[in-house]
Amino acid sequence: MDDGYRVKGPFFATQAAVPELRRSRGAVVMTASESGLLGNKNSALYCTSKGAVVNMTRAFAHDLTPEVRVNAVCPGAVMTDMLGGDSPEYLEELNNFSPMKRIADPTQRFMTGALLSIDGGATASR
């Protein structure tokens, strides 16, 4: 499977929008993944592509400041079609990975223990 779209899509879309984003002092929100921060077994390509989005977010944040803010969300496992074909054993493993002992459901609250650095990009430069 070619995961290039997971990297090229956000890159080229952001790049194309830069003139309007600068003019309007807009914001970009990328969709990365917890897998781009931590890595997971049996998913090297996915982890690599989402890690690229994490660092792309940091790079664009540096390149486009101060006119444009660039951030990313990094969700963990969410019960969507993406997990639909996975084995019950793997889903149980995902349940146990989270301190909440469950997979996120799009209709429920799931965020806890997160740190949101509101520091003008200082964290992105480290």
Please write the tens of the pLDDT for every residue from 14-41. Answer: 999 999 999 999 999 999 999 999 988 8
H helix and E strand count, the chain = 4, 2
Q: What pLDDT, in 10s, does the model give residues 91-125?
A: 998 888 889 999 999 899 999 988 888 999 888 87
| Within a domain: 46 | yes
Neighbours of 50 (CB within 10 A): 26
Q: What is the domain range of residue 17? A: 4-109
- Residue 86: per-residue pLDDT: 87
- pTM equals 0.87
| Within a domain: 116 | no
Report which of 84, 1, 72 is spatially closest to residue 31, judged by C-alpha positions: 72
Q: Is the pLDDT of residue 44 over 60?
A: yes
Report which of 39, 55, 43, 37 is spatially closest to residue 82, judged by C-alpha positions: 43
- CATH number of 13's domain: 3.40.50.720
- Number of domains, the chain: 1
By annotation, the residues acting in catalysis are 46
